[in-house]
Amino acid sequence: MPPKRLTTTSGIQTKRDGERIIPASIRTDGSVRPERRVKAGYTPQEDVSVYKNEKAEDFRRHQYGHKDYVPPGLTVASISKSRWKGEVGGQEVEEGIGQEDPEKKARALRKKIKAAKELKVRMERGDKLEDSQVAKVGMLESFEKELAAMNLELTTEA
Tell me the pLDDT tens digit for each residue of 8-51: 788 889 888 889 999 999 999 999 999 999 998 898 888 888 88
Q: What pLDDT, on a 0 to 100 scale, did the predictor assign at position 1?
A: 52
Query: Is the CB of residue 46 less than 8 Å from the CB of residue 10?
Result: yes
Q: For residue 38, how many other CB atoms are within 10 A of its CB? A: 17
Residue 48 in domain: no
Question: In this structure, are 77 and 106 located in the same domain?
Answer: no
Domain count along the chain: 3
Question: In this structure, are 151 and 110 located in the same domain?
Answer: yes
pLDDT digits (tens, 9 = 90+) for 93-123: 454 455 567 888 888 889 999 999 999 999 9
Residue 148 in domain: yes
Strand segments (E) across 4-125: 6-7, 13-14, 20-22, 25-26, 32-33, 36-37, 87-88, 91-92
Q: Which residues contact 44 (CB under 8 A, 6 or more apart)?
A: 8, 10, 12
Of the chain, the percentage scoring pLDDT greater than 70 comes to 68
Q: For residue 133, how many other CB atoms are within 10 A of its CB? A: 18
Question: In this structure, are 87 and 110 located in the same domain?
Answer: no
Question: In this structure, are 80 and 127 located in the same domain?
Answer: no
Domain extent, residue 59, equals: 54-92
Question: In this structure, are 106 and 152 located in the same domain?
Answer: yes
Question: In this structure, are 119 and 148 located in the same domain?
Answer: yes
Question: In this structure, are 119 and 153 located in the same domain?
Answer: yes
Residue 1 in domain: no
pTM of the model: 0.37
Residue 135 in domain: yes
